[in-house]
Amino acid sequence: MKQAAFQLTEEYLKNEQIQIEEAYQKLISSNKNLSKSTDRLIIRKAFNMAVEAHKSMRRKSGEAYIFHPIAVAQIVSEEIGLGTTSIICALLHDTVEDTEVTLVDIKNLFGLKIAQIIDGLTKISNLFDQTSTLQAENFRKMLLTLSDDIRVIIIKIADRLHNMRTMGSMPAHKQRSKASETLFMFAPLAHRLGLYKIKSEMEDLGLKYTEPSIYKSIEEKLEKTKEVRERFINQFIVPIKRSLDDSQIHYEIKGRTKSIYSIWNKMKKKNIEFEEVYDVFAIRIILNTENKNEKADCWKVYSIVTDFYKPNPERLRDWITTPKSTGYESLHTTVMSPSGRWVEVQIRTSRMDRIAEKGYAAHWKYKNLGKESSIDEWINKIRDLLENQDSSALDFIDDFKLNLFSKEIYIFTPKGELRNLPVGCTALDFAFDIHTQIGEKCIGAKVNSKLVPLSHELKSGDQVEIITSAKQKVKEDWMNFVITGKAKSKIKTLLKDKRRAVALNGKEILERKYKSNSIAFSEENIATLTNFLKLENNQELFYRTALGKIDFKLLKNFKELKEQKKSSSSEKQKEEVNVINAYRSGKSELVIGEGVENLKYKIAKCCNPIPGDEVFGFVTINQGIKIHRVSCPNAIQLLSNYAYRIVKARWNTKESISFMAGIQIKGIDDVGIINKLTKLISSDLNVNMQSINFEGNDGMFEGTIMLYVNDTDHLESLIDKIKVLEGIQQAERIEKTSND
């Protein structure tokens, strides 16, 4: 980190030393599990080493760098609940990467285990170089550290959380990049490790920096409705509290507001306004009861709640009898309040609440559970995915994230063993979940004693028996009816193995064809034919040769093919160099509308940015630079995976140019409403429409208008005028118009 620009006076430094010591004392007092002697002594030793190592370093905000590792250790200790080893590693996590301290020093002073964790953290930090490889590949490498010690990942999550909390002093484009990376990688990881509170905060902070206006709008609406919400909750819980008191159950009742990110997701998914999100909050009842009585007491409280309020049977979720694979345990029900509003009630014990808040990982490996936990099972599944070296990094991310947030169902084996799988899984998914060889040889299944095909979708509570045959071989269409990451990964690997065997035979056939045409069977000559046929790689050429899909008459004009290859390759290379060089020609940002003759740029169709939108440029190879809105549906993926291709961009508003935008409209299907709309847009406002599409149903209509506007002010003014038309209930800008 760079030295702060302001003057570091003697008085300032003296006060800072006091604050550093206070932060350390807060860290020690926050962990009640520390023994009074050895643990405190070794943590103090790590703290002293970190202070000395970082003494000349400052963060961009100007504060001493040591505050960062102390804060990370505080999160690890207080918010996650890990112990001495993790606190030491958090304090020292940046020393080997940023200072003169070496791994040998760490090992000599603190032992091999702490040195290994610090080594893992250093390797992870080195991965996140925005100018190097794809962030997807970095994510894959990061997960490899799971096989060493899961605490590496947990401390890295804590490190990222503190960085997100203190991002205010960073430039806006770096904030967006970090926030996108957090939403893409770290929030899903926190979720899967049961760190729900941290996951929610990461998502909220991610939204704050990627969609600041949306974040602020929802935050303000939550604040405005806070009093009404609290009054409703207080009235709702009165009869429940009275009955719980009579039952002599020790309890605590909380009102939990949904996270801003979750509210925004629901608004997008259901295309509704904030006011239409009915489950903005939930009631949480936490019981203080003995472990042996947990289940009975939770159901007793459920009975009390449903005595007063009618439950929705479709919305009962029993994660006490069968906990989620993350370790989450709770009983959820949705009941109807006297005012006609649905309210979610969550019932759990204080033990369950600690796990839900701080994560199952904190209670897992280091407590000697004596049996394989669900986190162990998850890590084993990740290892299975990582074993597939042939899949690309992006394929791996797709497979990994496929089931990360999916809801789970519970399937029984013929012997009664319970297995967790995602909703929508099939008999073939279940077969691969049991074992790769079972999946590979699977020809069908019996579900609840009835014969079903491989594509049969399973339901919670099904008992499944897999039928296999030694003659069965993996088929390409299997990819169409599996949804789990494990099944997809294994099928891809098996198909590639099968294709390799066929391709090996094809290579021999092709070699004979080359020789019969007096052509050397060299890498260059093979590549010439591959490129001419526009095939992905040489392996695909060999495979198609074996299947008899290559016309070998091409070999008679082989010399012409080589000339064509050289010409097209040279042109493509020239195009790539021109685009990248033009982007890096000294301009700190792209000004859209300025005279940049050497730089091609296009407006991305996926989000149709217009002047006034906050935008960025994305360097493509064949299509120049594409301009995307910061709020584009593809922005998080682009900023996370290809940060090195991102160009800062802004509009030149001097020129008056028309840009296409879309408006989605809903209203009452009254006679003449469409005529009023088109008259307002075309005649009264003199706006050119490209297309209009409406459908009516049960007295309502819904549709879209694509039109040309000058900028965001022009579009917003137009939307405001449409909204006041009689019969119009909703008018809003279309966020995504097409795939790009």
> DSSP class of residue 725?
S
Q: For position 367, what pLDDT does the model report?
A: 44
Is 333 part of any domain? Answer: yes
The verdict on 64 and 91 lying in the same domain is yes
The verdict on 695 and 641 lying in the same domain is no
309 neighbors 343 (Cβ within 8 angstroms): yes
C-alpha span between 238 and 235 (Å, rounded): 6
Is 682 part of any domain? Answer: yes
Judge if pTM exceeds 0.75. Answer: no
C-alpha span between 58 and 441 (Å, rounded): 60
Is 426 part of any domain? Answer: no
Show which of 177, 209, 241 is a domain's final residue: 209
Is 572 part of any domain? Answer: no
C-alpha span between 295 and 248 (Å, rounded): 17
The verdict on 62 and 18 lying in the same domain is yes
The verdict on 297 and 229 lying in the same domain is yes
- Report the number of distinct structural domains present in the chain: 4
The verdict on 35 and 174 lying in the same domain is yes
Q: For position 207, what pLDDT does the model report?
A: 93
Is 404 part of any domain? Answer: no
610 neighbors 631 (Cβ within 8 angstroms): no
- Which residues lie below 8 Å from residue 345, measured CB to CB, with a gap of 6+? 282, 283, 284, 285, 305, 332, 333, 334, 335
pLDDT in tens, 237-286: 999 999 999 988 899 998 888 899 999 988 888 888 888 887 888 999 99
Q: Which of 98, 376, 575, 576 is catalytic?
A: 98
Q: Is 307 part of the annotated catalytic residue set?
A: no
**675: domain range?**
659-733
Q: For position 481, what pLDDT does the model report?
A: 87
Query: pLDDT under 50 in the chain at which residues?
Result: 1-5, 130-134, 364-372, 576, 586, 595-598
Is 3 part of any domain? Answer: no
Q: For position 387, what pLDDT does the model report?
A: 55
Q: Is 97 part of the annotated catalytic residue set?
A: yes
Show which of 601, 618, 650 is a domain's final residue: 650
Q: For position 368, what pLDDT does the model report?
A: 42
359 neighbors 80 (Cβ within 8 angstroms): yes
Could you identify the residue written with the tokens 């000339």? Answer: 563
Q: For position 561, what pLDDT does the model report?
A: 61
Q: For position 441, what pLDDT does the model report?
A: 92
317 strand-pairing partners: 332
Show which of 367, 390, 424 is a domain's final residue: 367
Give the residue among 140, 210, 216, 217 at the shortest CA–CA distance from 179: 210
- Which residues lie below 8 Å from residue 174, measured CB to CB, with a gap of 6+? none
The counts of H helices and E strands in the chain are 28, 19
The verdict on 160 and 258 lying in the same domain is no
Q: Which of 97, 384, 440, 614 is catalytic?
A: 97
The verdict on 628 and 711 lying in the same domain is no
CATH code, domain with 239: 3.30.460.10
The verdict on 98 and 238 lying in the same domain is no
Q: For position 535, what pLDDT does the model report?
A: 80
The verdict on 669 and 645 lying in the same domain is no
The verdict on 126 and 233 lying in the same domain is no
